[in-house]
Structure formats: structure tokens, C-alpha cells
């Protein structure tokens, strides 16, 4: 789960990480009032969306005067901001963050993630901040330095100093950076973060270390014990179908193809997408309906898949281990009838009570083609989607 920049900066401030002064606004008038309260002549107006790359996309503007703040907020609010990190339709700008501008002497980069092979939290830092860090990592990896934190010892000051000196900071700046890093480490561990990133971390004109941007991502599996974080979730920034899916405990990810997939088990779901691609098709989604699938879940899954107008055919691939194929068949039939499904369905049911399941599908008189063999099922659904 992601937070907005302004929310992340609030947390930063609580953990002793210096951030510019700012105020949130959800209307142009509020933006003007925010600027007045902050005081001064110049301001930064920043679109609040769950994506980076806003600067290049016109979502970060340096402006002068209250009128300009109001004008800029008016232009940003209510639009969909498309950046390199969003899809083609972009993300809705429902609020802007008005900040006092900082004078930038240098733009640096620092982040932390869990390195699963090392089984440690690792910090990455680079003097090449502000730009695409992926580019830096790919073309000039020597400009990135990584340190791994021992879970029992925690982040050690010498490790922070090592990164600070790597970024050619002065001694005073290294001291400030050490506080920043220890704050980030506490955020990471105390709040169950999955990613913390400051890009850019700047050296101001006066030579101080300040977080100019803030990105926090949290481990969704830990949200049950991070109520204060979970409450700050902004659903407007998330895919509507994925949101709907989480309500029914369905593991769903929207993709760009035209073949809807309904599968039980994450591994089988991956294999199903692979085989669809192998035979020239494109999956419209990843969907794992889970082990203890019920008829109700199958119905909800169908509704989700068919919400996308791009879906031309549906591929059901169920292995009846814990669930019984006849129950699944019942769910499929109910769902197809209930939503008045027009597009073709190919169903492959294997495992417990598979014969009964297949017979039920055949007898239903609906546009459902039962196929036993996986390859044949994939070929059939790809052909159906192409001829649609
Ligand atoms: P992102 O593009 O979504 O990552 O948004 P950032 O918050 O990182 O801002 C993008 C860029 O805008 C930064 O790298 C800076 O170059 C510039 N910027 C943002 N805030 C300020 C500021 O207070 N002063 C100055 N001079 N530039 C800023
Ligand atoms: Mn940034």
C-alpha cells in the first residue's frame, strides 16, 4: 500500500527527517490560503498522486505569488496526471501540496528495501539523485552504493557515514544524513514498510540535508497491525477492479490482453497465463480465486473479469483438489446466467468430481466449452478470442 508524498513527509517529520514546510489543498482557494499561511513570494505546487515522475509530467511547478499558486492548483486539480510510472489513463489529482521552495545545491538519492536473498534491509544511496534511478542502476551501477543492515544489530552509524561519504558529503552533512538514515530505518521497521525512498534528498543552498520528495510503500500483510497507516489509504489512486477483488479475497491483477483468466492457485494461474501467451493470446488479468473457492467467489470473479470491455473470451482453469469440480461448475453456471454473459467460456476442470462438473457444464446449454487437455484448452480460447 502506498501513501501520498504529503502523508509520507508527515511521517518523515515525526521521525526527525527534515522536510520543507508545506500544506495540503484540495481546491484552488485552499491552495491560495495555504500559500498565504506559509508566507513568502515563491512556492512549489505538487500534484498528489501515487506515482513518481511528476516533475517531467507537469505535476511539480515552481511559481511566484498567490495568484500563480491558485492558478496552478486550478490547472492540476481534477485532471488525470500521466507520468512514466502511471498507466496511459494516469491518476486523478484530488489534492495538491503547496510547499516553501528549497534552494538546491545537490540532488542525491537514498532508499531502503528488503533484499530477500540477503534476508536483510538494504539501503541504497547515490549522488546521482533527482533523475531516473533505474537508468543510473542500469548504465552506471558504480554510482550506487548498497549497505545491508543486520537485523539484530540494526543500522549502525558507521554504515550511514559510509553512504554519506560515498555521496561526498561534508562532515556536518554526514551527521545530518546519519539522522535521516536512522529515521528511515525506524520507519521501515516500526511501520512495516516495504520501500522507503527519497529522490531527491537535497543539499540546500545553506548546506543542509532535506528530503525534497518522499515515497513510502507498506507491506499489505502487515496493515492489520498498522491501523494508522491503513486509515490513510487513498483508494482513488488504486485500480478499481483490484480494489473490488480484495473485498472478496481474490488475488487479482489487471493486465492488458483480451483473455480473461480464472484459475485456482497462484502457480497454476501463472502457468495458465504462460500457456495462453505461448499460443499467441494475451491474458487480460491474473486471477487466483484461492484454494477454498465457493460458488459465490466464482460469481464475483466472473463479474470482475467481465467488467473490462476488452475481454473477448474467458479461460477457466481449475484443479479440484480442495474444491470440488461440480461446485465450481455450479458457480460458473450461476454466474454466467446471472450476469447474462455473452462472450465464450472455455472451462478446464481437473480433479475431484471432474466428470460430474463437465456434465453439468454440457447440460447447461450455455456458451461454455469444456476441454480436458491444457494445450487444447489454451488453443481453443485463443482462437475464440481472435475470431470474436
Ligand atoms: P517526482 O518528479 O514525482 O519525483 O517529484 P519530485 O518531488 O522529486 O520533484 C521533481 C523535481 O522538481 C525535483 O527533482 C526538483 O528538481 C524539482 N523541485 C521540487 N521541489 C523543488 C524545490 O523546492 N525547489 C527547487 N528548486 N526544485 C524543486
Ligand atoms: Mn522524486
Complete domains list, the chain, with CATH: 1-20+103-238 (3.30.470.20), 21-101 (3.30.1490.20), 240-387 (3.40.50.261)
- Looking at residues 39-56, what average pLDDT do you find? 97
- How large a percentage of the chain has pLDDT more than 70? 100
Q: What are the residues whose beta carbons fall under 8 Å from the beta carbon of 104, sequence distance 6 or more? A: 200, 202, 203, 204, 205, 212
Q: What is the pLDDT of residue 241?
A: 84
Please check whether residue 154 is in contact with residue 185, taking contact to mean a CB–CB distance below 8 angstroms.
yes
Known binding site for substrate: residues?
264, 321-323
Q: What is the pLDDT of residue 89?
A: 87
Q: Look at the block and give the residue holding cell 485463443.
A: 382
Q: What is the pLDDT of residue 62?
A: 98
Kindly report the protein residue whose alpha carbon is nearest to atom 6 of ligand 1.
213
Number of the ligand closest to the Cα of 52 = 1
Kindly report the protein residue whose alpha carbon is nearest to atom 17 of ligand 1.
55
Q: Which of 9, 41, 49, 60 to mutate to test the pocket of ligand 1 (most atoms within 8 A of CB)?
A: 60
Cell digits of residue 171 = 562532515
Please check whether residue 147 is in contact with residue 159, taking contact to mean a CB–CB distance below 8 angstroms.
yes
In this structure, what are the phi and psi dihedrals at residue 100, rounded to the nearest 5 degrees? -75, 135
**Residue of 355, 384, 354, 356 whose CA lies nearest to 369:** 384
> Could you give the count of Cα atoms lying within 13 Å of 260 in the half-sphere of its Cβ?
24
**How remote is the CA of residue 239 from the centroid of ligand 1, in Å?**
26
Known binding site for ATP: residues?
46, 53-55, 99, 102, 107
For the chain, what is the mean pLDDT? 94
Report the predicted TM-score, pTM, of the whole model to 2 decimal places: 0.84
Q: What is the pLDDT of residue 341?
A: 86
**How remote is the CA of residue 176 from the centroid of ligand 1, in Å?**
20
293 vs 2, higher pLDDT: 2
Q: What is the pLDDT of residue 376?
A: 97
Looking at the annotation, which residues are catalytic? 109, 197
- Looking at residues 255-261, what average pLDDT do you find? 94
256 vs 260, higher pLDDT: 260
Q: What is the pLDDT of residue 258?
A: 96
Residue 296's pLDDT band (boundaries 50, 70, 90)?
Answer: confident
In this structure, what are the phi and psi dihedrals at residue 312, rounded to the nearest 5 degrees? -105, -20
Q: Which of 93, 213, 215, 216 to mutate to test the pocket of ligand 1 (most atoms within 8 A of CB)?
A: 213
Q: What is the pLDDT of residue 163?
A: 98
**Atom number, ligand 1, closest to the C-alpha of residue 20:** 23
102 lines ligand 1 (CB under 6 A): yes
List strand residue ranges (DSSP E) for the chain, in order: 22-25, 42-47, 60-64, 80-81, 91-92, 96-99, 104-115, 120-126, 144-149, 193-204, 209-211, 215-218, 251-254, 259-263, 285-288, 313-320, 345-351, 368-370
Spell out the long-range contacts of 6-10 with Cβ–Cβ below 8 A and sequence spacing 24 or more.
6/48, 6/95, 6/97, 7/216, 7/232, 8/214, 8/215, 8/216, 9/97, 9/211, 9/214
Q: What is the pLDDT of residue 290?
A: 80
**Atom number, ligand 1, closest to the C-alpha of residue 101:** 23
**How remote is the CA of residue 184 from the centroid of ligand 1, in Å?**
20
For 360-381, what is each residue's pLDDT tens digit?
999 998 889 999 999 999 999 9
Distance (Å, whole) CA 133 – CA 144? 9
Q: Which of 20, 61, 200 to mutate to test the pocket of ligand 1 (most atoms within 8 A of CB)?
A: 200
101 lines ligand 1 (CB under 6 A): yes
For 201-256, what is each residue's pLDDT tens digit?
999 999 999 999 999 999 989 999 999 999 999 999 998 888 888 888 888 998 98
Number of the ligand closest to the Cα of 5 = 1
91 lines ligand 1 (CB under 6 A): no
Strands 22-25 and 285-288: unpaired
Strands 22-25 and 96-99: antiparallel
- Residue 291: pLDDT above 80? no
55 lines ligand 1 (CB under 6 A): yes
Q: What is the pLDDT of residue 175?
A: 98
Distance (Å, whole) CA 42 – CA 66? 8
**Atom number, ligand 1, closest to the C-alpha of residue 130:** 14
- Residue 46: pLDDT above 80? yes
Residue 271's pLDDT band (boundaries 50, 70, 90)?
Answer: very high
343 lines ligand 1 (CB under 6 A): no
Distance (Å, whole) CA 238 – CA 338? 27
**How remote is the CA of residue 161 from the centroid of ligand 2, in Å?**
23
For 14-29, what is each residue's pLDDT tens digit?
999 999 999 999 999 9
Number of the ligand closest to the Cα of 53 = 1
22 lines ligand 1 (CB under 6 A): no
Can you tell me whether residue 207 is helix, strand or coil? coil
Q: What is the pLDDT of residue 363?
A: 92
- Residue 284: pLDDT above 90? yes
**Residue of 103, 99, 110, 96 whose CA lies nearest to 19:** 99
- Looking at residues 81-89, what average pLDDT do you find? 91
Q: What is the pLDDT of residue 339?
A: 85
**How remote is the CA of residue 209 from the centroid of ligand 1, in Å?**
15
- How large a percentage of the chain has pLDDT more than 90? 79
53 lines ligand 1 (CB under 6 A): yes
For 131-149, what is each residue's pLDDT tens digit?
788 899 999 999 999 999 9
Q: What is the pLDDT of residue 324?
A: 86
Kindly report the protein residue whose alpha carbon is nearest to atom 14 of ligand 1.
130
Q: What is the pLDDT of residue 269?
A: 95
Angle in degrees, CA 68, 73, 79, rounded to 5:
140
H-helix or E-strand containing 229? Answer: helix 227-230
- Residue 294: pLDDT above 80? no
Amino acid at each position: 500500500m502506498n501513501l501520498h508524498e504529503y502523508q509520507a513527509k508527515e511521517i518523515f517529520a515525526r521521525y526527525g527527517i527534515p522536510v520543507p514546510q508545506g500544506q495540503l489543498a484540495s481546491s484552488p482557494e485552499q491552495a491560495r490560503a495555504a500559500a498565504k499561511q506559509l508566507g513568502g513570494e515563491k512556492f512549489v505546487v505538487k500534484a498528489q498522486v501515487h506515482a513518481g515522475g511528476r516533475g517531467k509530467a507537469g505535476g511539480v511547478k515552481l511559481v511566484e505569488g498567490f495568484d500563480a499558486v491558485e492558478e496552478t492548483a486550478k490547472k492540476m486539480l481534477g485532471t488525470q496526471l500521466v507520468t512514466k510510472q502511471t498507466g496511459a489513463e494516469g491518476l486523478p489529482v484530488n489534492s495538491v501540496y503547496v510547499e516553501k521552495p528549497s534552494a538546491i545545491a545537490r540532488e542525491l538519492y537514498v532508499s531502503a528495501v528488503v533484499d530477500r536473498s540477503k534476508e536483510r534491509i538494504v539501503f541504497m544511496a547515490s549522488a546521482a539523485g533527482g533523475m531516473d534511478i533505474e537508468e543510473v542502476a542500469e548504465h552506471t551501477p558504480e554510482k550506487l552504493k548498497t549497505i545491508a543492515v543486520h537485523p539484530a544489530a540494526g543500522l549502525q552509524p558507521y554504515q550511514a557515514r559510509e553512504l554519506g561519504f560515498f555521496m561526498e558529503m561534508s562532515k556536518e552533512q554526514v551527521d545530518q544524513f546519519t539522522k535521516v538514515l536512522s529515521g528511515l530505518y525506524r520507519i521501515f521497521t516500526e511501520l512495516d514498510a516495504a520501500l522507503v525512498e527519497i529522490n531527491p534528498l537535497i543539499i540546500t543552498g545553506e548546506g543542509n540535508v532535506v528530503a525534497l520528495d518522499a515515497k513510502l510503500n507498506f507491506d499489505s500483510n502487515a496493515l492489520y497491525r498498522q491501523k494508522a497507516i491503513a486509515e490513510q489509504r487513498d483508494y482513488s489512486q488504486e485500480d478499481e477492479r483490484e480494489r473490488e477483488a480484495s473485498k472478496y479475497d481474490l488475488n487479482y491483477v489487471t493486465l492488458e490482453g483480451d483473455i480473461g483468466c480464472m484459475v485456482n492457485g497462484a502457480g497454476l494461474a501463472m502457468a495458465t497465463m504462460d500457456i495462453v501467451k505461448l499460443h499467441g493470446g494475451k491474458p487480460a488479468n491474473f486471477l487466483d480465486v484461492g484454494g477454498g473457492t465457493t460458488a459465490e467467489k466464482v460469481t464475483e470473479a466472473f463479474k470482475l473479469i467481465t467488467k473490462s470491455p476488452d475481454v473477448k473470451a474467458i479461460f477457466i482453469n481449475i484443479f479440484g483438489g480442495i474444491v470440488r469440480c461440480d461446485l465450481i461448475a455450479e458457480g460458473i453456471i450461476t454466474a454466467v446466467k446471472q450476469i447474462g454473459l455473452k462472450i465464450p467460456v472455455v472451462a478446464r476442470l481437473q480433479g475431484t468430481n471432474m466428470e460430474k462438473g463437465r456434465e453439468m457444464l454440457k447440460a447447461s446449454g450455455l456458451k461454455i466449452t469444456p476441454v480436458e487437455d491444457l494445450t487444447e484448452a489454451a488453443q481453443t480460447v485463443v482462437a475464440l478470442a481472435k475470431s470474436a
